[in-house]
Amino acid sequence: MKSYVAVFLGGTLGSLFRYVLNMWTGGSFFPWPTLIENLSGSLLLGLLTGFFTARPKKPYIQLALGTGFCGGYTTMSAFSKETMLLLHSSAPYMGMIYLGATLTGGVCLAFIGFSLGSRLSRHGKGAVNS
């Protein structure tokens, strides 16, 4: 039951953050809010994955932050809908730019996050053991 609560709480916060970001950055032809959410979410999930890969497992924290928060914060369905709408608009090249920026940027940022998370985890272990 604790796992469900961890995912629920993290997902609630992630969805709330996504909503606030949409209200703060929305209102243009290009889907900036979803791009920002998915790129920053990729970086964060990479960071968390790298950090927890090299650390003792903390399953409820991992579930709350990874599955819950990042799952609620990022959005594949909005990305897919917005890409389709852009591709069918009067500026389909914007859809290709959005698609490329999201996919390439997301994978690159996840890799950077993983690398940083791994380093942070190792650095923290060294500081504790010294």
Segment holding 77, helix H or strand E: helix 76-87
**Annotated binding site, which residues?**
71, 74
pLDDT(67) > 50: yes
**128 band by pLDDT with thresholds 50, 70 and 90:** very low
Specify whether the CB–CB gap between 82 and 20 falls below 8 A: no
Residues with Cβ within 8 Å of 48's Cβ and at least 6 positions away in sequence, in order, are 62, 65, 66, 70, 113, 117
Q: In this predicted model, what pLDDT tens digit does every residue of 9-45 receive, in sequence order?
A: 999 999 999 999 999 987 788 999 999 999 999 999 9
Interior/surface letters 96-111, b for 16+ CB within 10 angstroms, e for the rest: eebbeebeeebeebbe
**62 band by pLDDT with thresholds 50, 70 and 90:** very high
Calculate helix-pair angle for 92-129, 32-53, nearest 10 degrees: 30
What is the spatial distance between Cα 47 and Cα 64, in angstroms, rounded to a whole number?
14
Domain extent listing, the chain: 2-129
**Annotated binding site for Na(+), which residues?**
71, 74
Q: Which among 130, 126, 128, 123 is positioned nearest to 51, based on CA atoms?
A: 123
